[in-house]
Amino acid sequence: MHIYFPKLSKDKPAIGEGTQFKDTTFGQYTDIGQLNFIDNSIIGDYTYTGQFCFIQNSLLKKFISAAAMVRIGPTDHPYDRPAQHMFAYNGSAYGFENPDTDFLENRKKKTTTVGNDVWLGHGIVVQSGVTVGDGAVIGSGAVVTKDVEPYTIMGGVPARPIKDRFPDEIKADMEKIKWWDWSREQLEANYDDFRLPIDEFVKKYLPRA
């Protein structure tokens, strides 16, 4: 969260104090909170994060709202081996100079995907390899271990469906409208319509056959 919101730019992400990132690309109007750690990820247009978020090997699509202390794509340890500690597969910090490159590369390829217009509540964890569908809501403190259907509200440990945001017909219509792919000009021209009741919004913007 912000006490005062920064002025965002389409050309350069707003990066909070103390944040570190590598091998990561940022879309337009992105806002990354303080003390985030982001590795090998793509952060889509208009997505923002709160403080103390950790994101690894992930694709975050557009218009994602991530609260503080969110963890996306935490990497696994090889718990089926004699030692699961990092020294045994990536031990250069400990003076062991023969990293397990196959294990490390395969771990990087296990992508976690968060869809468009998803709300990620405070302190949640989305496990590696999981896909969260468009429009979903993940309640505070949840641990997401399985794929989440679009427009589903999830909560708990492990996370389970609580209810749907919209009826199935509306969900299908929203996936056809895909407002998150509108141009900046379309967003500005239709800005006030995002306050309409959902059935009116769908009626106005559903593509005609």
Q: What is the pLDDT of residues 86-109, one digit of tens each?
A: 999 999 999 999 999 999 999 999
Domain boundaries, position 124:
14-165
**pLDDT, position 2:** 66
Mean pLDDT of 18-22: 97
Q: Which of 136, 127, 26 is nearest to 71 (CA)?
A: 127
Domain membership flag for residue 97: yes
Per the domain annotation, does 182 fall within a domain?
yes
131 and 47 assigned to the same domain: yes
Q: What is the mean pLDDT of residues 53-59?
A: 98
User: Annotated active-site positions, please?
Assistant: 77
How big is the chain, counted in residues? 209
Same domain, 57 and 100: yes
The mean per-residue pLDDT over the stretch 33-62 comes to 97
Residues 128 and 86 in one domain: yes
- Residues 119 and 182 grouped into a single domain: no
Q: Is residue 3 one of the residues assigned to a domain?
A: no
Computed over every residue of the chain, the mean pLDDT equals 96
Closest by CA position to 42, among listed 115, 141, 135? 115
Q: What is the mean pLDDT of residues 59-68?
A: 98
1 in a structural domain: no
Which pTM does this prediction carry?
0.94
Asked if the structure places residue 154 within a domain, the reply is yes
Q: What is the mean pLDDT of residues 156-168?
A: 97
CATH for 90: 2.160.10.10
Find the mean pLDDT for residues 158-164.
98
In a domain, 49, yes or no: yes
Query: In the β-sheet with 48-49, what is the strand arrangement from edge to edge?
Result: 14-15, 31-32, 48-49, 65-66, 119-120, 137-138, 152-155, 160-164
Which pLDDT does position 26 carry in this prediction? Answer: 98
